[in-house]
Structure 1
Amino acid sequence: MDINSANLRALTTGYRANFQAGLGAVQPMWGRFATEVPSTTSEELYPWLNQIPGMRKWIGERQIKNVADSSYRLVNEDWEDTVSVGRNSILDDRYGLYRPLMGMLGDAAGRQPDELIFSLFKQGFTTNCFDGQFFFDTDHPVLDANGSFVSVSNVQAGTAEPWFLLDTRKALKPLIFQNRQAPVFAALDNPDDPNVFMKKEFIYGADSRNTGGFGFWQTAFGSKADLTPANFAAAFTAMTLLKADYGAPLSITPDVLLVGPSNRSKAEAIVKKQNLAGGESNLDYGRVELVVAPWLG
């Protein structure tokens, strides 16, 4: 192929189509566990995360919840992936060999939100959420029925590979995916570009802007204890007993057990076997949906 502007524009159009095909073929998992929040600037504030709404009997004046004292903010991050095609490959009509690469570029761009969101589950043991505590913590402050602060836990300690119980059916899911810019395909494909002059290569890439964060800790329970029926039951019960400020039940019911591949067998034994080893019924069978995420180890 001759190196000229018309041919290069046509080549970029084809590569862009390959990129879009790869991007569109991705079936992401993150949407089950994170609420997407559109972003219009470099960062977003979430002042309302410190209050879970709840209806009350209207006696006297309205009780206005203070949502102005939370400083939880999420700053968007830039993401990129870049590949090159040698000038000689185009001159020698070998540019078609790079079409799968452009498709893989789209695939990688489409999977980036999954990598981001699922990494947050592990980070939740050491990263603060809106209340100033780790997302998975033993000391989340909650007001009891008398208006006094008590500490509430959504974590089990241990040294095993982590696993998680989640309530994904609330209006706000356990995590937040803050989306500033969807993946776009770009090219440095002018014959006069410095990269062509210096290195004899044309550059193609994708970039996006987004970040992730933590929603309501009450909708997630993280454990590093061994995944056993007893620990599963304790975590499940702890979530169902959670209360909002002043003692109103939150009606949390876990619907997903999220594990990595290393915990798959233990998880299947708990929630996918109808009968136990002795033949008796397994009361945890089908209690939650099992989801195995490769990013959790």
Structure 2
Amino acid sequence: MIINSSNLDTAFRGWKTTFNDAFAAGETQSQRIAMTVPSSTREEAYGWLGQFPQLREWIGDRVAKDIKAHGFSITNRKFETTVSIKREDYADDRYGVFKPMFSEMGHQAKVHPDEMVFSLLKDGDSTLCYDGQNFFDTDHPSVDADGSATTVSNILLPAGTDTPWYLFDTSRPIKPMIWQEREGHEFRMVSNHDDTGVFMTDIYHYGVRARVNAGFGLWHMAFMCKGPLNAANYKAARAAMMELRGDQGRVLGLKPNVLVVPPTLEEPARQVALAQFDAAGASNVWAGTADVIVTPHLA
């Protein structure tokens, strides 16, 4: 191939199409548990996280309740991946062999949120959320129906030491976790002959750039269990989660509908939440109560 700006631009457009096609075709799982929040600055503050006022019978004037400001923010992080192609690869018409690489690059960009969100989830019992407690904790601060200070747990007790598994309520617009995007994954190139780096090395660079981050949202909508994944613990975890109450003893009305597990727990997860019959051949009353997400990022 003749090396000129026109031919280089044609090759770039072809690879960008390959990247975009793979990005569009990629399947992600994290969007089930994470809400996408657009970001317009270096970091975003989430002072609105917390309890929303409960509806009350309107007698007399309105009673205004401020949304709690917890000082919780998520700072965007910058990510990249870059590949280099030598000038002689163009000259020898070898640019076609790079198509799978750019396709994989598009796929990796698409599933990047999965890596970020589920890797953060794995550290949920040791990472602080908006209320100053770990996202999964036994003593989230709250207020009971009498106005007295109390604590709430979103960990099935007794805690246990087995491989953790997780229940989520994803039925609402607000999700338990946050995927924050300042600048989405963009495919770019440096192939100008006048560029100093290209002139000095005879190498063209192609890469992806993004400014994003993952964070924790409402802990009430997520529940962790470190006991064996069986029908008894699944029943107990569902019940404990649905019985969670907010400030002033408010019933939250949670509906756990997603079960997230690492690969080692895929079989018991499917047996508990999806199989029509249990191991004894009896009807499984929990069949269809939750979708199952299996992710290697929890391994």
Inter-partner Cα distance in structure 2 for 1:278 and 1:223 = 24
Q: Deviations over 1:219-277 (max 9, x none)?
A: 11012222122221111110111112111211111011111111011112212233333
User: Corresponding residue for 1:182?
Assistant: 184
Give 1:1-297 correspondences, 5 Å limit: 1-67=1-67, 69-156=69-156, 157-297=159-299
Q: 1:197 to 1:31 in 2, by over 3 A?
A: same
CA distance in 1, matches of 2:276, 2:101: 45
Q: Are the counterparts in 1 of residues 166 and 261 from structure 2 also a CA contact under 8 Å? A: yes
C-alpha distance in 2 between matches for 1:69 and 1:171: 20
Distance, in Å, in 2 between the alignment partners of 1:235 and 1:81 is 40
Aligned length: 297
Is contact 1:52-1:244 (8 Å) kept?
no
SS in structure 1 of the partner of residue 48 of structure 2:
helix
Gaps of 5+ in 2: none
Q: 2:57 and 2:38 mapped to 1: Cα distance?
A: 34
| CA 176–53 in structure 1, closer or farther in 2 if over 3 Å, else same | farther
Identity of aligned residues (%): 42
* Partners of 2:268 and 2:77 in 1: CA distance: 36
Distance apart, 1:287 and its partner CA? 2.1
Secondary structure at 1:121's aligned position in 2? helix
Q: Letter of the aligned partner of 1:211 in structure 2?
A: N
- The separation in 2 between residues aligned to 1:153 and 1:123, in whole angstroms, is 17
Quick check: 2:49–2:68 contact (8 Å CA) kept in 1? Answer: no
- Whichever residue aligns with residue 69 of structure 2, its letter is D
Secondary structure at 1:47's aligned position in 2? coil
Shift of 1:25: 1.4
Q: Is the 1:12–1:189 Cα contact (8 Å) retained in structure 2?
A: no
Deviation at 1:188, TM superposition (A): 0.9
State the shift of 1:104 in Å: 1.3
The alpha-carbon distance between structure 1 residues 201 and 55, as it changes in their structure 2 partners (threshold 3 A), is same
Distance 2:53 2:295 in 1: 31
Cα displacement string for residues 132-188 of structure 1 (whole angstroms, at most 9, x for unaligned residues): 101100001111011111111111323322210110001201111111111111111
Secondary structure, counterpart of 1:111 in structure 2: helix
Alignment check: 8 A CA contact 2:50 2:68 kept: no
Aligned with 1:213: secondary structure?
strand
Distance of 2:4 and 2:153 partners within structure 1: 64
Closer, same or farther in 2 for the Cα pair 1:274/1:17, shift >3 Å?
Answer: closer
- When normalised by structure 1's length, the TM-score is 0.94
Q: TM-score, normalised by structure 2?
A: 0.94
- After TM superposition, give the deviation of residue 68 of structure 1 in Å: 5.1
SS of structure 2 residue aligned to 1:48: coil
Which structure 1 segments of 5+ residues have no match? none
Question: More displaced, 24-33 or 59-68?
Answer: 59-68
For residues 276 and 13 of structure 1, the distance between their equivalents in structure 2, rounded to whole angstroms, comes to 54
The C-alpha deviation readout for 1:96-155, integer Å capped at 9, x for no partner, is: 111111111111111111111111211211111111101100001111011111111111
For the residue of structure 1 that corresponds to 2:267, the secondary structure is: helix
Cα distance, 1:282 vs structure 2: 2.3
Q: State whether residues 268 and 290 of structure 1, in contact with CA within 8 Å, keep that contact through their aligned partners in structure 2.
A: yes
Give the aligned CA root-mean-square deviation in angstroms.
1.6
